[in-house]
Structure 1
């Protein structure tokens, strides 16, 4: 079986690309032929160095690096992306297609190409771009999750964009183009959507037209090898890993840690980096390789914290903490909260500083932290979301998609290119 995985970058610029790259590696190790098609050229993640992976760059620009007017146009509909992807797929001749991230280079213009191929198509929803213009279904003007009908009259009028009214207009235009491309291209067959948590699956399924999609749950892969559990009672900090933004709750961690008398250790980067670095009791580190992050967490963390204000589909850091034997603290708005046993392997709390501080106070109890760490390790490894488990689940989905599409492919009158044998 040959699967083409589509994403923006060949380096992990965020959780979505990280999953796409690791998924490619896991599938190749499972014996599948994998082509990773990425929009933007650049140095590749070492995870892609495998004989079963072919990497194909489309030579596109990151829309964030373009002049504002050009980035807006390419973000809404990048004709060059469509042309180059069509040519790449004609050369690759895969059996199925899996789209991960598209907003930074590929644009909705690639959807007619995927539909025209007559190949089975899966889309992993790492965010809410399929329904929401800003992608996170979050009101940045109110610092709270959105409750409006996407692209309804109140949505269009809401000043919810994190940057400006002009950016909101561009993103609305992109959402309209996306919906139209999906409706036209896949009107005769449902698209297979992959959700990474039950919470995001329930939310998104309710906002999408019934019958147009098949919904599946496949956990994101976790790149943590099974080792002896860490001892979080030896740690001296609560640890936040990721992008430092208000919607991810980075400021809440710093405030709550100060109230609880704990050190807050931040690994990553983002717009709040400068503010955090100037706060007492805060240590700010830049991005680190996964192995270095794991080493830091094992050595320093009493708990790993992900107090998202937005309805986050993941995040991966919760799973990685549990796999190491570190208690995890997640927002009750995060999809990953469903993997925490409250009071047993960590805590699930609303994203409010005073509530987070109460939990941080409990972390002063060495016996409690050690017990929760051992329970977290045992609970995670009882049903681990490893790279191999992720690849097996993905391969089963692809096989089912290909089997369902066989009759349709046989009767298609003018496919853009032919499929190779499975």
Structure 2
């Protein structure tokens, strides 16, 4: 099977890119032929260095690197992206059996959807966020610091000053969301959700659209090994971009109240504020370095998202190493945490988190949570191999269906979830 994976970057700098790169590697190791089409110029992750993976850069600019007006136009509808993608697909040495799009908000734009839907191969989208429904992509009111309760693209949504940057940026994002609806047209789309919570929430938001919903976990690239000894750690750790919607400030405040050190691995707009609160911020590290740091320092890993994060990988990676996880009850990853057994599920509020952190002072409790986390995770780990097999099962079903219908992918869907489960 020849699979074409499309992502805007070829490095694992964020969750969507990380999954795109790792799934490409997993598919290649499973025997699939993979073409990885990256929109933006830049380095490629070493995972893409495999004889079964071909890489095609389109050399498009990131819209955030363009002058304001050009970035706005390209963000809404990038005709050049459509032209270059059309040429790249036509030049492939063999036709694609399946197309898998991971991102379209930074360079591709909605303009690539008609190109992909015109191909004879079925198209799959992984929904790492809420851009298919919500203009700002995270279904979050940055003006209120709380999840959104409005119907996406309703009159109240259009008027809400919810964008993290400005009303002008909101207008551009609304234009992109409208263009996306037009680009998708009446064609049926097969979409993958990475958590049960995301599936339930997005299926409701997208009711009435011609979609079929599938459920496959993100891959987690942690090698099997002995569990960590988190009771020897000294800090509560946070891994990822340091922003308010991801709750980085909550970790610092809760740790201060609980009398525990806070360790931040990552960077972002809250860098200086976190350091001012006495937190240790060490910047980005390679995946191997992150693993070593967590195993030596972390009593727990905390992901206290204020937004409805679809499935933060840091929770899965902590559990895989035998480190207790503290997840926001708004996060899709919370469904992987057994409260009081492998970690804690807590509201993203400073005092609730502080109370959870206070319990981490008990070495015996931390040790018990860590051992149980490791044992539970490795009963059915979402490895690259398992992820690849789930994808190949989905691709195979879609290609068989396309062949049965003589390549006609247009049709009606009742929007009911179809579960391709790898939980």
Range of TM-score over shorter length = over 0.9
TM-fit CA distance, 1:411: 6.4
From 106, 120, 123, give the equivalent of 1:121.
Answer: 123
What SS class does the counterpart of residue 382 from structure 1 fall into? Answer: coil
SS at match of 2:214: strand
* Structure 1 counterpart of 2:169, from 157, 167, 170: 167
For 2:407 and 2:388, the matched residues in 1 are separated by 28
Q: How far apart are the structure 1 equivalents of 2:379 and 2:208?
A: 35
What corresponds to 1:416 in structure 2?
Answer: none
- Number of aligned residue pairs: give it: 408
Q: Are 1:3 and 2:3 an aligned pair?
A: yes
The answer (yes or no) to whether the contact 2:242–2:268 under 8 Å persists in 1 is: yes
1:57–1:343 CA distance, 2 compared to 1 (3 A): same
1:263-278 maps to which residues of 2 (within 5 A)? 263-278=261-276
Aligned to 2:312: 315
Query: Which residue pairs with 1:352 in the alignment?
Result: 349
Kindly state the Cα deviation for residue 9 of structure 1 after the two structures are TM-superposed. Answer: 0.4
- Which whole-Å deviations, capped at 9, do the CAs of 1:195-253 have from their partners, x for residues lacking one? 00000000000111346111111100001000000000000000000000000000000
- Say yes or no: does 1:205 pair with 2:203: yes
Cα distance, 1:407 vs structure 2: 3.1
Secondary structure (helix, strand or coil) at the match of 1:59 reads strand
Specify the alignment match of 2:109 in structure 1: 107
Aligned residue among 205, 208, 227 for 1:229:
227
Tell me which of 261, 264, 281 is aligned to 2:259. Answer: 261
1:32 paired residue number: 32
Question: Which SS does the other structure have where 2:169 is aligned?
Answer: helix
**Cross-structure match for 2:299:** 302
- Looking at structure 2, the residues matched to 28 and 337 of structure 1 have their Cα atoms a distance apart, in angstroms, of 30
- Offset of residue 13 of structure 1: 2.5
- Matching residue of 2:21: 21
Q: Is the 8 A contact 1:108 1:174 kept in 2?
A: yes
CA RMSD in angstroms comes to 1.2
> 1:297-340 CA deviation, whole Å, 9 max, x = no partner?
11100000000000000100000000000000000000000000
1:395 and 2:392 matched: yes
Other-structure match for 2:416? none
Match of 1:76 in 2: 76
How far residue 102 of structure 1 moved from its aligned partner, in angstroms, is 1.1
Residue aligning to 2:59: 59
Shift of 1:380: 0.3
Give the whole-Å Cα distance in 2 for the aligned partners of 1:410 and 1:108: 23
Contact persistence 1:118–1:409 (CA under 8 A): no
CA contact (8 A) 1:141 1:162 kept: yes
| Superposed counterparts of 1:335-346, under 5 Å | 335-346=332-343
- TM-aligned CA deviation for residue 90 of structure 1: 1.2
SS in 2 for 1:296: helix
Does the Cα contact within 8 Å between 2:4 and 2:36 map onto a contact in 1? Answer: yes
Given the alignment, which residue of 216, 223, 240 partners 2:238? 240
1:156 pairs with 151, 155, 158, which one? 158
Contact between 2:264 and 2:281, CA under 8 Å: does it hold in 1?
A: yes
**From 325, 329, 343, the counterpart of 2:326:** 329
Task: Please give the secondary structure, in 1, of the residue aligned with 2:137.
Answer: coil
User: Which deviates more, 271-280 or 136-145?
Assistant: 271-280
> For residues 231 and 174 of structure 1, do their structure 2 counterparts lie closer, same or farther at Cα, with a shift above 3 Å needed?
same
Structure 1's 344 and 27: CA in aligned 2 closer, same or farther, altered over 3 A? Answer: same
SS at match of 2:240: strand
In structure 1, how many angstroms separate the alpha carbons of the residues matched to 2:148 and 2:257?
A: 29
1:409 is displaced (CA, Å) by 3.7
Answer yes or no: is 1:373 the counterpart of 2:373.
Answer: no
Give the secondary structure class of the aligned counterpart of 1:292. helix
Residue 119 (structure 1) shift: 1.7
For the 8 Å contact 1:241–1:317, the answer to whether it is kept is yes
Q: Which residue of 2 aligns with 1:49?
A: 49
CA distance in 2 between counterparts of 1:125 and 1:359 reads 31
TM-score by length of 1: 0.95
SS at match of 2:281: strand
Distance 1:309 1:289 in 2: 26
Question: Which structure 2 segments of 5+ residues have no match?
Answer: 410-423
1:410, CA displacement in angstroms?
A: 4.8
Question: C-alpha separation between the residues in 1 aligned to 2:48 and 2:227?
Answer: 29
Q: Is the 8 A contact 2:402 2:408 kept in 1?
A: no
Report the equivalent of 2:415. Answer: none
